[in-house]
Amino acid sequence: MSKSKCISWLIVLSAALASVAAVAQDRGPVRGETFVIELDIFSGRPNPRLVLDDPAEVMAFTQKMKESCDRASAVRADAAPEYPGILGYRGMLVSRSMDGGAAERSFSISGGSMRMAKQHTPLACQSRTNGLAADAAGDVHLLGMGLGLEHHVVQLALQKGVIDTVAYQVILQGLSAR
Amino acid sequence: MRLTLTLGLRLLALAMFTSTAAYAQTKVQPGSAGNQITFTAAGDISLDGGQCFGGVASPPAGAVSVYGGKATAKNGNLYFQGAITWSSLVFPDGTTVRSGGTTLASMTNAGALYLRGKCLNAAGCRNTTWEPSRWNDGGAVQFNNNCYNYGNDKITGTFAQPGRASGNQSPYPPTVVEVRDGALTDGLTWVGWTFPGNTYDCGNGHLVFMAVAPGYDYHWWRLDQVKGVWSHKPGGTAARNVDNSNNTITNPLLADRGVYTENGGFYCTCGGMANIN
């Protein structure tokens, strides 16, 4: 084999290996937290779901969540508002998974309050919930988070085409009524 | 033992509600239409046609008294003045019906019926009642059954969609025409656009109402026959018997329905037996 042919093969091989590495990176195990957010807005139709597994989107979401949790107050279960059962925008139901594991229902957010399974508290809120006693259902309750996290998710859902402008307006109307 | 009696209305009252006799599994004929009522040993009232209605202060025109006016009958339906309590283990003072040593039912002086079993008809349609414990389990039943399941009183665990069981599911976003078509091909029967009243005679089954949020979603309500009020289940949340303003729903057209503003009409459906998925 000539030297030039050898170099060509090396180039092809390197490109192939790089391609395999890139694929392996794309399909490799997911590290850290990922979230599936169900926008609880419909009655008859299944609710839309926003999947957050892009690292930048996860980071932006967790940053917002941390800000919201840090400003919230913890309350006992009997003082926490019930999750609304109304027609229209009700809230968001969030499942969380760690390192590509099975998604577990982690928390719900509605009108600036959060009900969270203590066992599945997201990392961003753990500093806020450490030391809090869970209620009989294993949940902790936070109030006064503000609506920033919900607005952030709704904007992202619209941008990603998970909801259309009609659903977007219904959610904004629901948030403004809180 | 199964006795079949053809009795006058006065005897019907005595046969159904007496404090001393055991008349379980006795067939009686309440009206001229010929529909018969069977009171079974299990504590069910079984109707050849029609349903039981509770909380009916004003019975429909032409209904005949079967218990001193506290209950009336028409076309095989039974209308009780007071609320009906299904699967009851308590039987407040009043007249009672017993089978052997077991009390099967009682009726209070205010016309409230306490029944050990349920009210069923020959088509197998369940009488709809406000029974949140059946739906609001905070788990699989609640999350996987929606307003269409609840309206039809049928748990499928599939978030049932109008028309899906019959190959006629409407596209998104739903319209009144498409959702109505889907429901009708599933076997619901059309009643009309205007409120038919809470004692409307479906024959078999019960009333439901549908509304559409334009460009967005649809929703169903059902008449709970035992109290004469309506209830509904918004998506995967808990079933509730109030509207968006927390008011009791006696007419869904007048209720606060939030964004579900467009009238989708009233229908009859056979509780528990509808072809939905």
Q: How many CB atoms lie within 10 A of CB B263?
A: 17
Chain B: nearest CA to A146, how far in angstroms?
A: 23
SS (H, E, C) A65-116: HHHHHHHCEEECHHHCCCCCCCCCCCEEEEEEEECCCCCEEEEEEECCEEEE
> Is the pLDDT reported for residue B172 higher than 80?
yes
Closest CB to A44: pick one of B148, B237, B238: B148
Residue A85 has its nearest CB partner, among B146, B218, B238, at B238
Q: Examine the domain organization and report whether B142 and B76 are in the same domain.
A: no
Distance CA B125, CA B152 (A): 10
Total structural domains in chain B?
2
Residue B127 domain-assigned?
Answer: no
- For residue B274, being part of any structural domain is answered with no
Shared domain for B153 and B212, answered yes or no, is yes
Q: How far apart are CA B75 and CA B48, in angstroms?
A: 10
Closest residue in A to B260 (Cα–Cα): A87
pLDDT for the residue numbered B20: 35
pLDDT reported for residue B33: 45
Query: Is B206:B125 a contact under the CB 8 Å cutoff?
Result: yes
Q: What is the largest CA-CA distance in chain B?
A: 60
For residue B214, the model assigns a pLDDT of: 97
Task: Domain of residue B57: give its range.
Answer: 3-121
CB contacts of B216 in chain A (<8 Å) are 42, 166-167, 170
Per-residue burial over B8-17, b if 16 or more Cβ lie within 10 Å, else e, is ebeebbbbbb
* B161 chain-A contacts, CB cut-off 8 A: 44-45
Final residue belonging to a domain, choices B90, B121, B152? B121
CB-CB: which of B173, B214, B259 is closest to A87? B259
Considering the domain boundaries, does residue B213 fall inside one?
yes
Contact B13, B67 (CB under 8 A): yes
pLDDT tens string A100-145: 888 888 899 999 999 999 888 888 999 888 888 889 889 999 999 9
How open is the CA angle B26-B28-B32, to the nearest 5 degrees?
170
Q: Which of B231, B226, B230 is nearest to B113 (CA)?
A: B226
Structure pTM? Answer: 0.79
Cα dihedral A121, A127, A131, A132, rounded to 10, equals -50
> What is this model's ipTM?
0.80
- The pLDDT score that the predictor gives to residue B36 is 59
Q: pLDDT above 70 covers what percent of chain B? A: 86
Which domain-ending residue is among B88, B121, B154?
B121
Q: Are residues B49 and B153 located together in one domain of the fold?
A: no
Measured between beta carbons, the chain A residues lying within 8 angstroms of B174 are: 44-45
CB pairs A-B closer than 8 Å = 71
- Structure-token pair, residue B58: 């004003």
What average pLDDT does chain A have? 85
Residue A42 and residue B217: Cβ atoms within 8 Å?
yes
Both B68 and B158 in one domain: the answer is no
**Domain spans, chain A:** 1-28, 31-176
The reply to whether B87 and B192 lie within a common domain is no
| B55 and B92 assigned to the same domain | yes
Q: Per mean pLDDT, which of A22-26, A106-110, B117-121 is the most reliable?
A: A106-110
Q: Which of A44, A45, A90 sits opposite B237 (nearest CB)?
A: A90
